[in-house]
Structure 1
Amino acid sequence: MVPNFQIKAVRQYSKTPMPAYAYDLESDSDSDGETSHRRYKDNKKMPQRGESEFWRRKMRTLHNILDVNRDGVISFDDYSLLAKRFTDVGNLSPEMSAEFFDVMKQTWEEQWGEINPYNLVTAEQFLTELHHKLNDKDLVKKIGRFLPYLFKAVDIDHTGHLNLDQYKLFFRCLGLTDEDAAVSFAVIDRNGDGQLSLNEFVHLGRQYFLSENERKISRMFWGPLIKH
């Protein structure tokens, strides 16, 4: 069930427009898929994204992470538990916490439909629906709109950058280990300055969904990929 304080927050802020950074995320992506799409004329069929086994492996990895209660399926309870882990860090204002939960609620309803105990998303359903979203020019713009809230929740010193310790906190909220965080951070910190900006964080998080290029460092954004 959804915690009472979260239901109250949604009711209070559900009519509040989401901040711009929660929506306007498409321009930060340079995925191979987006580049190739621009090469096609209007009268030619666009190539489908999300066809590779590598992309499917990434989405299965993410399904495992979003299955917070580890029952094999994703429910809205999992989304609520995930939001609570990040808000419990204590770094988000009450207003931003409410906005965060509202974004998670909207994401669920737009992607999976009604919020009820029987709406359970299997791994294969997760892959199928994300494949559809990835190939819809309007829906794809909304992918990853919750990412800025994850960043701001663990940016505990409000510098606008995450260091390794803060990235470890991000991974703990996801139910992953400090060791996984250290390995991932070493890969995605491309310039080796020990910092990850909000723009870099959102860009990599979105690129994880969009790219089928196995060489992209975004492959490590959510931790090590599952084997199958």
Structure 2
Amino acid sequence: MAITLVRLGIRSISLNLERSAALVSTSTHNQVKLLHTKPVCNGSVCFLQEKQRECDLTEQMSSLRRSYSKQHGRPEENRRKQQSDSESDSDSDTECKGFDRSEFWRRKMRTVHNILDIDKDGLISFNDFALFAERFKSLGHLDEQQAKEFSDIIKLTWEEQWGAVDPYNFVTVEQYLEDMHHVLNDKTLKKKAHRWLPYLFKAVDKDKSGFISVKEFKLFFECLGLDNEHAAVAFAVIDTNGDGKLSMKEFVKLGKDFFFTEDEAKVSKMFWGPLIEV
């Protein structure tokens, strides 16, 4: 009997300790949760930082893609240079990549992402990228050598910026924003970015005059999936000298400036058509 009572006493003590541990664990978990979801108060109103939630989601997506690239593509360190080689123009270390640029710049990047998303599933895959190139090649104005060079550059650009040529390797809007932010902050990547622009020019230069007329610029917009009305308006704006034509140098500069500048006064904002509404 004495032994039984002792066993019951020990069991009772054990159960009490387990309950206490559970309470302490729950309390600690709640405190940690509160720590990570600390609200920001403005006067009498308190709210959670939605921007931080976006950053967290972006980082999670980036981690998944980096993991995928390591397993199925080239090692991440070969795909990107070390951050120490980058030239960052951000004054804040509290922002996630791509979010410390202006909303105007982000709208422009979303616009291009939407254009490159040929099947409109919200993601860019290498298949989208290849179909984008095929639209221009199908015009029939590139010779065989130019068409091959164009395809090779499209493939190389994909591999350098986004890794493996694989149907399951895709680029979300958030990832595109981050990647383009990275490109602008890296001298080497910035020089090589959008080197396929001259081939877009050659593809729509129907008469091979070395200049693009408004009629040929409409072909460009047609390949982007945009209508002629937008093309006429855009051409009128970007043809700053009013000579009714664009040289390859002008065309390429406008195309690159669209990605590089955050100045809303630049006419290059019209180059890829109407900016997407957010």
**The TM-score by the shorter chain falls in which range?**
0.7 to 0.9
Deviation at 1:117, TM superposition (A): 1.0
Write the distance in 1 (CA, Å) between the matches of 2:152 and 2:175.
23
User: Is 2:163 aligned against 1:113?
Assistant: yes
Number of residue pairs matched by the alignment: 184
Identity value in percent:
58
Alpha-carbon distance in structure 2 between the residues aligned to 1:66 and 1:111: 14
Q: Which runs of 4+ in 1 moved over 6 A?
A: none
Pair member with larger Rg: 2
Partner SS for 1:157:
coil
Determine the C-alpha separation between the residues in 2 that align with 1:95 and 1:206. Answer: 24
2:239 is the alignment partner of 1:197: no
Which of 1 and 2 has higher RCO (CA within 8 Å, sep 6+)? 1
User: Residues 1-228 of structure 1 correspond to what in structure 2 (within 5 A)?
Assistant: 47-48=89-90, 51-228=101-278
Q: Give the letter for the 1:171 counterpart.
A: F
For the 8 Å contact 2:254–2:271, the answer to whether it is kept is yes
Offset of 1:46 from its aligned partner?
5.2
CA RMSD of aligned residues (A): 1.3
More helix by share: 2
Cα distance per residue 1:39-67 (max 9 Å; x no partner): xxxxxx85249711111110000000000
Listed one character per residue, the Cα deviations across residues 75-106 of structure 1 (whole Å, up to 9, x for unaligned) are 00011111111111001011110000000000
Distance 1:227 1:116 in 2: 30
TM-score of the two chains, using structure 1 as the length reference: 0.78
Q: Distance in 2 between matches of 1:179 and 1:158?
A: 24
TM-score of the superposed pair, with normalisation by structure 2: 0.65
Q: Which amino acid aligns with 1:198?
A: M
Gap regions ≥5 residues in structure 1: 1-44
* Partner residue in 1 for 2:75: none
Structure 2 stretches lacking a partner, 5+ long: 1-86, 91-97
